Amino acid sequence: MFFASDNWAGAADEIAASLQRHSEGFSPAYGASELDRQLEQRFNDLFEREVAVFFVGTGTAANSLALSAVNRPGGFVLCHREAHLIEDECGAPEFFTSGARLAPIDGPLGKIDPAALRRGLERFDPEFVHHGQPMAVSMTQATEVGTVYSNEEVRAIAEHTHAFGLPLHMDGARFANAMVRLGSTPAEMTWKSGVDVLSFGATKNGCWCAEALVFFDPARAKQLPFIRKRAAQLFSKTRFIAAQFHAYLDDDLWIRLARHANAMADRLADGLANSQHVSIAWPCQSNELFVTMPKAAAERLKDQGARFYPWPVPEEFESKLEPGQGLYRLVTSFATTTDHVDQFVALVG
């Protein structure tokens, strides 16, 4: 009963098989192999336009290098106050930008409120050097609390962002989970809705270590080869990332994996819907379900072998939480089985 994180899973069989298959033979290093080139081409097809794509090892790297590419002195990146960038990257975005600041924007259910974003952008006076200047907006799809922006919502954020001459970055660590929920296409979810730079994550959805940084305007990425190498993110045997991504995209594996993860989260939500001991905090839209329960109950579940983490209570949710209760995150993945889900539901009662 492992619901702690989609990072607790290993790799999908097809990914492992691809790595095995490509471990033989010789080919150019540092991104120059045929396999690397073919993969770059596949990203053009995937997004229905010519993109500039760069493969890196971690989601934190993808996010940080995206911001490096659009960096400005005294720059602010506006993002949701619960964004991974802010909460979970130990200052990497700040470090790789030599000190850009992350400005937290409010909004319910992990989503940036467009009006709050507008206010956040308006507080900068281009003539007033002391405050610094905005340099980008970053949004997370799916969000950190399992919700999903509609494409209309993305467009609303993009409009404000572009009105201030800024690029819009999307942290897509769980892009696939959002996509299968929306029933949209990669192109619609991104550049057709105004996204300029995407961190396209594959690790959480069945790879070992495979993240892609995608620029929809290749001109913006001119310095990226140097930025990536300087960031120690140009792997020598890039084949091993390419081998993962090829298998990931072959035969829509990535979509099948994400569908399964989401289905497991839905099954969990269905199973817990009528529980007397656990309440669903807000609707599950991807592969993360948030529930409230008495802290003692959570401890008991852990003692019985369930693995999951407590979650910091969002400000707007505080009033809904009764004393003695906690908020908890349950994450499913490609590797979650119906057995695990049903066992957990039964245990909760």
Q: Which of residues 122-151 bind a copy of itself (CB under 8 A)?
A: 129-133
Is 10 among the residues that bind a copy of itself (CB under 8 A)? yes
Cα 147 to the center of its chain, rounded Å: 11
Give CA separation, 294 vs 1, 84, 176, 330, in Å.
19, 27, 32, 15
- CA separation for the pair 44, 158 (Å, rounded): 22
Binding to a copy of itself in span 20-59, by CB under 8 A: 20, 22-30, 56-59
Return the residue of 34, 45, 50, 88 that touches a copy of itself, per CB under 8 A. 88
CB of 156 to a copy of itself, least distance (A): 26
Is 102 among the residues that bind a copy of itself (CB under 8 A)? yes
Return the residue of 39, 43, 53, 64 that touches a copy of itself, per CB under 8 A. 64
Is 309 among the residues that bind a copy of itself (CB under 8 A)? no
Report the residue number, 8 or 299, with the smaller CB distance to a copy of itself: 8
Is 284 among the residues that bind a copy of itself (CB under 8 A)? no
CB of 185 to a copy of itself, least distance (A): 27
Is 310 among the residues that bind a copy of itself (CB under 8 A)? no
- Asked if residue 173 has a cis previous peptide bond (ω within 30° of 0), the answer is no
List CB contacts of 137: < 8 A, sequence separation 6 or more.
77, 78, 79, 112, 117, 121, 157, 160, 161, 166, 167, 168, 169
Return the residue of 42, 49, 95, 342 that touches a copy of itself, per CB under 8 A. 95
Report the residue number, 29 or 255, with the smaller CB distance to a copy of itself: 29
Q: Per DSSP, what are the bridge partners of residue 310?
A: 328
- CA separation for the pair 330, 170 (Å, rounded): 23
CB of 314 to a copy of itself, least distance (A): 14
Q: Per DSSP, what are the bridge partners of residue 170?
A: 139, 198
Angle between helices 151-163 and 114-122 (to 10 degrees): 10
Report the residue number, 150 or 337, with the smaller CB distance to a copy of itself: 337
CB of 202 to a copy of itself, least distance (A): 11
Binding to a copy of itself in span 140-199, by CB under 8 A: none
Nearest alpha-carbon partner for 176 in 208, 196, 152, 200: 200
